[in-house]
Amino acid sequence: MDISGRPEGFASGGLELYAFTEADFLVIKQLVHEHTGIYLDHSKRFLVQTRLSRRLKQLGLKSFREYRRLLQNDDGSELEHLANAITTNTTAFFRHDHQFEFLAERLAERQAQGGFDGEIRIWSAGCSTGEEPYTIAWVVNRVLRPENRAKVKILATDIDSEALAVAEAGIYPEEVVAPLAGQYDLRGAFLRGTGPYRGFVKVRPELRERVTFRRLNLIRDWSVKRPVHYLFCRNVCIYFHKDTQRALMERLADTQDEGDYLFLGQSESLFSTCNLYARVAPAIYRKLY
């Protein structure tokens, strides 16, 4: 029973909110932390209630008690939905654009110095709905000659299977890319939708084919082909506790060699989490050894 006096749930602005006790919050918070590394402080309680109420409704459940029971007997599939519901997927093409200019300059420099011996590996860790890795592919295609482009491999990973599905499709509403129109040549990166896809754009195949998407939980066991020459892990660690950040940064650093680059979110830093990098520009780091 909740304070509205109705059994289990109540309607609020069109969304049915299920009654959510402190005990419910603590159980969910613990599960989310164990499974995703995301730390939910008390300020997130309403957000969790709102996002999961949608899930409970989808499942046809009557209460969070039932949902907790379902999670207890879960084979992993509901945990996937839980992670999808809790993650924050905010992203954009050319988000923190100075970082992509920096990448463009480094790639152009290398090309001018004679090109690339082997593969150039770029990893977008926490790629969300794909805007970040496609921006990287866009830069690669803009800056490099075809023979060098072919050597660039972009790996894009995320824990959120729904976000990854959007990323793999590479289809976005026009208003997502419209703000870029003055600054970038949109025709070089997108095809305009027609018929049922009117109002949408699709990432061009020559960008799409440069990116490999994979579901990967950063706080579980994983391995990627190393060295990663350019590692983007932006606006992911902000959701983690310092201890989780420290442990993750150590493993991410293991994927890179001396001189490789790390890109963080604008509000993130390595201060007190990792001393293996030197800061070379705002939110851009270079591996020391």
Distance (Å, whole) CA 286 – CA 281: 9
Q: Which stretch binds ligand SAM (CB under 6 A): 105-113, 212-220, 251-259, 272-280?
A: 212-220
- Could you tell me whether strands 277-281 and 284-287 are parallel, antiparallel, or unpaired per DSSP bridges? antiparallel
Q: How far is the CB of 135 from ligand SAM (least distance, A)?
A: 9
Left if phi > 0, otherwise alpha if psi is -120 to 50, otherwise beta: which for 30? Answer: alpha
Among 71, 104, 219, 224, binds ligand SAM (CB under 6 A): 219
Catalytic residue flag (residue 2): no
Distance (Å, whole) CA 183 – CA 40: 37
- State which of positions 83-122 bind ligand SAM (CB under 6 A): 87-91, 95
With binding defined as CB under 6 A, does residue 130 bind ligand SAM?
Answer: no
Spell out, one character per residue from 141 to 180, where the chain touches ligand SAM: x when CB under 6 A holds, - when not.
-----------------xxx--x-----------------
Distance (Å, whole) CA 52 – CA 29: 12
Among 49, 128, 245, 255, binds ligand SAM (CB under 6 A): 128
Catalytic residue flag (residue 260): no
Annotated catalytic residue within 51, 106, 208, 279: 51
Torsion of CA 89, 92, 98, 103, to 10 degrees: 80
For residues 225 and 169, is the Cβ–Cβ distance under 8 A?
Answer: no
- Could you tell me whether strands 261-263 and 284-287 are parallel, antiparallel, or unpaired per DSSP bridges? antiparallel
Nearer to ligand SAM, 107 or 231 (CB): 231
Residues that bind ligand SAM (CB under 6 A): 36-38, 87-91, 95, 126, 128, 132, 158-160, 163, 217-219, 234-236, 239, 265
Catalytic residues: 51, 158
